[in-house]
Structure 1
Amino acid sequence: MTLENHEKNPVNPGQESEGPRYTLEELKEHAESLFSVKEEVLDGAFFGAQDKLFTVAEAHTKIEQFMKAKVD
């Protein structure tokens, strides 16, 4: 199943409707082609949010925030 052909998922309460939503596993399968990162980066960026659904735009934002986070 490709993300482009995936049916729309119901919107989680409190999240904007910007298009179809995908599970973290679906996004991880396409991490390199969509975000130019390895699956492991999504593990870090989405730590604690495994059971939620995300748009590609939301995932991209979370990945950018994770990659720019300051490490002490």
Structure 2
Amino acid sequence: MTFEKNENSPIYAGQEVGGPRYTLEELKEHAEPLFSVKEEVLAGAFFGEQDKLFTVAEAHTKIEQFMKAKVD
């Protein structure tokens, strides 16, 4: 599996409708080059969703929401 982070790609413009889906483990392996975060951030963002598959765009959105979440 090869990933490229490209700020001009449709993934980051929110235009990816479908595309390949990956396990959480696969995304964790490439967390830093894809999302500029450590594996632990993905673990937190996807807590309780370990058995699902995600596109890179979906993962990116979930990580952004997790990072912006208000902590009480």
TM range (shorter): 0.7 to 0.9
Aligned pair count reads: 60
- Write the letter of the residue equivalent to 1:32: E
Match of 2:45 in 1: 45
In the alignment, which residue of structure 2 is the partner of 1:12? Answer: none
Moved over 3 A (4+): none
Partner of 1:8: none
Match of 2:65 in 1: 65
CA contact (8 A) 1:23 1:51 kept: yes
Identity of aligned residues (%): 86
Q: 1:37 to 1:22 in 2, by over 3 A?
A: same
Structure 1: segments with no counterpart, 5+ residues: 5-16
Q: Which amino acid is 1:31 matched to?
A: A
> TM-score, length-normalised on structure 2?
0.78
Give me the whole-angstrom Cα distance separating, in 2, the residues matched to 1:66 and 1:25.
18
1 or 2 for the larger relative contact order (CA 8 Å, sep ≥6)? 2
Residue 32 (structure 2) pairs with residue 32 (structure 1): yes
Q: Deviations over 1:22-65 (max 9, x none)?
A: 00000000000000000000000000000000000000000000
5+ residue gaps, structure 2, are 4-16
When normalised by structure 1's length, the TM-score is 0.78
